[in-house]
Amino acid sequence: MTDAQWMQRFDHLYSEHADAVRAYVRRRAPEDVVDDVVADVFLVCWRKLDDVPAQALPWLYSVAHKTLANERRRRLRRAHVPEDVSHEPEPVGDSALAAAFAELTDADREVLRLVAWEGLSLSQAGRVLKCSPVACRVRYHRAKSRLASRLAAASSFRPEPRGVTR
Amino acid sequence: MRNDVIARLAAANPVPAPAPVRERLPVRRVAVAAIICAAIAVPAVAFGGRLAGALGISNEGSTVPVTSVLPGQSQLDQALQDMHVGSTMQLLGTLNGVNFYAARTGSGHFCFAIDHVAAQYEKGVLCDLNEDNFPSADVQAITFPRGLQGIAADGVATVEFQDASGNVLDSAVVTNNLFVSDKRFEQGQAAYLVTKDAAGNVTSKRTLP
C-alpha cells in the first residue's frame, strides 16, 4: 500500500467504525476512560492496518476487549479501593435483569453483550472472543440458559405487592 | 423464554445508539484524529518557497534525538517510527507551554509533534502525507483538528478555525511559525482552517476533515 492508500484505508475504518467502538467501550467501562480506550484501539488499528480483516468491526472489538483489560489492570494498580475500577455499565430500566446479569461470569456476560448489545452474529462474536463458531455457540447458549434460570429463580421469590390481601 | 431473555437484554442496552463525543477530549486521542487529518486530499500545486530536504520554514529549530521528543509515550513514539521519522527532529521552540518538534520523513512528508510539558496527555503526532504537503500554496498551516495547535508557513500572521458558515470559531497569532490556542472543538465543529497575512488578507482556506 502507498502512504495515501494507507491513510485512505485508516480514514475509512475510523469514520465507519469509531462510533460503534465508542459505544462498545461505553457499555463496558466508566465514562472517564472511554476516550483513552477508543484512542488506543485506533492507534493499534493504525499500527496493524495490514492485519485488519475486511470485516473489521469484530477485529476492532477484539482489540477494544484487550485494551479494556489492560486499562482495568492499570487502574487496579493505581486504585486505593479495588471496587473503584470494577464498575461496569449494567442493563438499564430492568432491575431484575440487571441483578441476574450481574450474577453471571465475565465470560457469560461478554458473549451475551456481543449478541444483544452489539448485534453480532455468533460467528462474529467468536472472532471477538477468539473462539471457534461452535465453541462460541455453546458458550452463548449456556450463558443464555444461565441468565434465564436466574431470572426465573428471582421471579419465583418475588415478594407479594403491598396492600394485597387474600 | 430464552429468546425473550436476549430481547429483554437488548432492550436494556445502556448505550443503545452510537454515543455522542464528550465535550472535553483527553488529548491522547489527538494522535488518532491527527492521523485522519493527514488524509485530506489537496491539489498538487507547486510552492516556490519550499526547500527540498529542509522543513521549508524560517524556523529551523535545533536538532534533538527523536527519543527525547515524547518520553514515556510509547504509542506516540511508535507512531513517529511508523511514520518513518528519522533519528532526530527539530525542536522549533516552546509556545504557551507547548514544545513543538518537526521533521521531514525520508519520503519528504512533514511531521510534527507537540508536547504540553506540564500535562500528562497533551501530546500528539501529526504527519501531512499528501502529495504536496506543508508548506505549500494550499497548505500554509498544519494543525491538530480539535484545536489550533500547529505550524504555519512563513508570512502567515494569524490562523483561524471557521465553521461551515464562515464564522470565526477561534484564532491564534503565529509566532516563529508556531501557534497555540487553548480552545478545543468537537470533530466537525471547525470546517475550515484559514490563514491570514499581517495585513489580514486571507492567504489560504482549507477544509478540515
Q: How far is B177 from B60, CA to CA, in rounded Å?
A: 10
**Closest residue in B to A18 (Cα–Cα):** B18
Kindly report the average pLDDT of chain A as a whole number: 82
Q: Contact A97/B39, CB-based, under 8 Å?
A: no
Cis, peptide link before residue B135, omega less than 30° from 0? yes
- pLDDT tens, residue by residue, A81-95: 555 445 677 888 888
Phi, psi of A67 (to 5 degrees): -65, -40
Q: A23 with B18: CB under 8 angstroms?
A: yes
Q: Across the interface, which of A43, A89, A115 has its CB nearest the CB of B31?
A: A43
Q: What is the pLDDT of residue B26?
A: 37
C-alpha cell at A78: 493505581
Beta sheet of B98-104, edge-to-edge order: B62-65, B88-95, B98-104, B110-116, B123-128
Q: B107 with B84: CB under 8 angstroms?
A: yes
Q: How confident is the model at residue B52 (pLDDT cuts 50, 70, 90)?
A: very low
Residue A40 contacts B where some CB pair is shorter than 8 Å = yes
pLDDT of residue A3 exceeding 80, the answer is: no
Q: How far is A134 from B204, CA to CA, in rounded Å?
A: 58
Please give the share of chain A, as a percent, with pLDDT higher than 70: 84
Residue where the block lists cell 448489545? A117
Q: How confident is the model at residue A137 (pLDDT cuts 50, 70, 90)?
A: very high
**A112-151 residues touching B, CB cutoff 8 A:** 112, 115-117, 144-145, 147-148, 151
Q: Which residues of A touch B28 (CB under 8 A)?
A: 35-36, 39-40
DSSP A9: H
Residue A41 amino acid letter: V
Buried-state track B148-169, b at ≥16 Cβ within 10 A, e below 16: bbbbbbebbbbbbbbeeeeeeb
Q: Which of B14-28, B149-163, B173-187 has the highest mean pLDDT?
A: B149-163
Mutate to test the interface with A, among B2, B13, B76 (most CBs of A within 10 A): B13
Q: How confident is the model at residue B36 (pLDDT cuts 50, 70, 90)?
A: very low
Q: How far is B206 from B209, CA to CA, in rounded Å?
A: 10
Q: Contact A36/B26, CB-based, under 8 Å?
A: yes
Q: What is the pLDDT of residue B112?
A: 86
The pTM score is 0.52
Mean pLDDT in residue range B93-119: 85
| ipTM score of complex | 0.79
- Stated as kind and residue range, the H or E segment containing B134 is none
Q: How far is B56 from B7, CA to CA, in rounded Å?
A: 60
- pLDDT tens, residue by residue, B184-199: 777 678 889 999 999 9
Residues in a beta bridge with B110 = B104, B128
Dmax (CA) of chain B? 73
Q: What is the pLDDT of residue A63?
A: 94
Q: Across the interface, which of A22, A36, A97 has its CB nearest the CB of B8?
A: A97
